Amino acid sequence: MLDYFYLGLYKTFGFILTVLPRKITIKLMRSLAWFAYMVSKKHRLIIHTNLDLAFEKQLSEKEKKRIGIEAFVNLIDTTFGIIYRDKMNKKEVIKNVSFKNEEIIKAYQKENQQFILVTGHYGNWELLSQSIAIYFDLTLVGVGRELDSKVMDDLLIRNRERFNVEMVYKKGAMKGCIRAIGQKKIVGILTDQHLTQSQSIDVNFFNHKVTHTPLASILSRKFGIDLVPAYISTDDYQNYTVTIHPPIKSLKTDNQEDDLKTMTESQAKILEEVIRTQPAQWFWQHKRWKEFYKELYNK
């Protein structure tokens, strides 16, 4: 029964977003973001804790509030975007998306070489995967969590696949990624979620120790495939820019541990550099440093 409640909400918002002018939709997003920030004490504290860690308590309360609200705007924009693009064709999806350094990916395509896309929960990350798949005419296989609602999970899968994006679930992600690479598809991995130490590699992130997924590094080393970081940003929630960064070259020496550590640290470094340019674009609502600073989140 709950599944069809979610489906009803999806259809309702789909109709509303189709009817409303974009400028009104943006005002609605900002109102909802302000409400979420003010009402959810839990997430507000997580955001402020993360910002204090990342910026060494140099941000004012006013600035932390601005970034926190904007982080919710990004989350809502990402969610609304999935619904809004449900009726779009491929050309419409990338109409307001521009690309920087696109020659990096085109060079790999020209040489008929695969690469692994690495990114994070920054900007409208759902639009990032779809726009790259469409613009470069490739099939992108992402790693994600299965939704609790089977109906909504199936709907989201169909939505993504219309734009050349397929998914493998976190449980069994390694096998799914290996299969995708064998099929000459491009694997895309979100690298900025908290993991336990047993599943991760420790890296330095904003001058603090944090866990980081080794999945992209393991695949890169195993198959000799470079990692290409890419992130999406916006200044107005109408026009978006995908920035493709210089590749992280695949390493395979006699020291596997050092290779994986080096490649994983490089991923964390570029993500930090991207976040520092526009902090409000990142998803500050999750306990990114929980493994080593659990006591801060429990206050």
Question: CB within 8 A of 39, min separation 6: which ones?
Answer: none
pTM of the model: 0.93
pLDDT value of residue 5: 73
pLDDT value of residue 228: 98
Structure tokens at 101: 């350094």
Structure tokens at 245: 């960064």
pLDDT value of residue 86: 84
Rg (CA), the chain: 19
pLDDT value of residue 11: 76
The DSSP output letter for 89 is: -
The predicted-structure confidence for 112-170, as pLDDT tens digits, reads as follows 999 999 999 999 999 999 999 999 999 999 987 776 677 777 777 788 888 899 988 87
Q: How many CB atoms lie within 10 A of CB 48?
A: 18
Q: Are 217 and 260 in contact (CB under 8 A)?
A: yes
pLDDT at 237 over 70: yes
The number of CA neighbours under 13 Å toward the Cβ of 21 is 3
pLDDT value of residue 224: 97
pLDDT at 2 over 70: no
pLDDT at 212 over 90: yes
- How many separate domains does the chain show? 1
Range name among 50-59, 141-150, 193-202 with the lowest pLDDT average: 141-150
pLDDT value of residue 172: 79
| pLDDT bracket for residue 10 (50, 70, 90) | confident
For 56, the domain range is 2-297
CA dihedral of residues 25, 31, 35, 38 (deg, nearest 10): 130
Structure tokens at 228: 């290409």
The predicted-structure confidence for 64-85, as pLDDT tens digits, reads as follows 999 999 999 999 999 999 888 8
Q: Are 228 and 178 in contact (CB under 8 A)?
A: no
| pLDDT bracket for residue 1 (50, 70, 90) | low
The predicted-structure confidence for 250-299, as pLDDT tens digits, reads as follows 999 999 999 999 999 999 999 999 999 999 999 999 999 999 999 999 87
Bigger pLDDT: 14 vs 100: 100
